């Protein structure tokens, strides 16, 4: 038995599951999958936050409102087109105001987002867990004051493919595991 790790956006992970290229995937619940054969188990909820330089005027705010982001250059994730979930975290956090925002760049790499923020390219909008994978020296992180400033992460698998006993053991272990420290468990 071997394990291979594949990274991708929500759409590419769904395609890999649907084709049988992968057995299981961690991805956000939104945007929703199109393949009705996929089984899902919600695992945790994490906040989507605003990331800015320490000298940005918004640092004075404890929480940043979506209206504070209007007119500002925004860097989001993940990359890709809207139909593939590109910029989903930013648009989801902004809710109905999403089309009013100035999204100037989308990236899959948290370190790229943070580097662009440090270089005064704009304000980043990213999930806390993704942000935890890079250094945040010289930047400030603020909660976004929005009821939709979160993303729910789930485990997905194709329940109609040939059953692998190892997959069942893996799914069971993941479901029982504690979520990352900065996330809240979703009980389903």
Examine the domain organization and report whether 111 and 180 are in the same domain: no
Quote the domain boundaries for residue 19. 10-44+151-185
Look at the pTM and tell me if it is higher than 0.75: yes
Q: Are 148 and 28 in contact (CB under 8 A)?
A: no
> Does 130 reside within a domain?
yes
Q: What is the pLDDT of residues 126-179, one digit of tens each?
A: 999 999 999 999 999 999 999 999 999 999 988 765 667 788 888 889 988 988
CA gap 165, 78 in Å, rounded = 33
pLDDT score recorded for residue 7 = 81
Is there a single domain that holds both residue 129 and residue 164? no
Q: How far is residue 160's CA from residue 176's CA, in Å, rounded to a whole number?
A: 23
Same domain, 91 and 170: no
Per the CB < 8 A criterion, the answer to whether 155 and 100 are in contact is no
- Do 126 and 50 sit in the same domain of this protein? yes
Query: Beta 38-53 vs 184-185: how paired, if at all?
Result: antiparallel
CATH of the domain at 128: 3.40.190.10
Q: What is the pLDDT of residue 1?
A: 58
Same domain for 59 and 134? yes
Does 85 share its domain with 28?
no
Residue 5 lies in a domain: no
Let me know whether 64 and 130 are in one domain: yes
127 lies in the same domain as 85: yes
Name 172's Cβ contacts closer than 8 Å, sequence gap at least 6: none
Residue 74: the pLDDT is 97
Beta strands in the chain (DSSP E): 24-28, 38-53, 63-65, 73-76, 102-106, 123-127, 139-145, 150-158, 184-185
The answer on 74 and 131 residing in a single domain is yes
Q: What are the pLDDT tens digits along the chain (188 aa)?
A: 567 777 877 888 889 999 988 889 998 888 888 898 898 999 999 999 999 999 999 999 999 999 999 999 999 988 888 777 788 899 999 999 999 999 999 998 999 999 999 999 999 999 999 999 999 999 999 999 999 999 999 999 887 656 677 888 888 899 889 888 888 888 75
Cα 180 versus chain centre, distance: 14
Reference 46, options 131, 123, 124, 172; nearest CA is 131
- How deeply is 157 buried, as exposed, middle or buried, from its count of CB atoms within 10 A (0-12, 13-18, 19+)? buried
Q: Does the residue 144 lie in any domain?
A: yes
């Amino acid at each position: 038995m071997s394990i291979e790790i594949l990274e991708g956006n929500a759409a590419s992970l769904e395609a890999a599951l649907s084709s049988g290229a992968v057995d299981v995937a961690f991805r956000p619940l939104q945007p929703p999958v199109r393949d009705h054969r996929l089984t899902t188990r919600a695992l945790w909820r994490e906040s989507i936050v605003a990331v800015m330089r320490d000298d940005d005027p918004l640092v004075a705010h404890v929480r940043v409102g979506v209206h504070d982001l209007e007119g500002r250059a925004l860097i989001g994730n993940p990359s890709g087109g809207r139909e593939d979930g590109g910029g989903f975290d930013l648009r989801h956090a902004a809710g109905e105001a999403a089309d009013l925002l100035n999204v100037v760049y989308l990236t899959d790499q948290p370190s790229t987002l943070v580097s662009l923020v440090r270089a005064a390219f704009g304000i980043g909008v990213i999930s806390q867990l993704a942000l935890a994978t890079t250094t945040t020296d010289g930047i400030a992180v603020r909660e976004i004051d929005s009821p939709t400033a979160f993303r729910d992460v789930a485990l997905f698998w194709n329940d109609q493919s040939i059953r692998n006993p190892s997959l069942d053991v893996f799914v069971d272990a993941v479901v029982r595991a504690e979520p990352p420290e900065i996330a809240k468990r979703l009980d389903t």
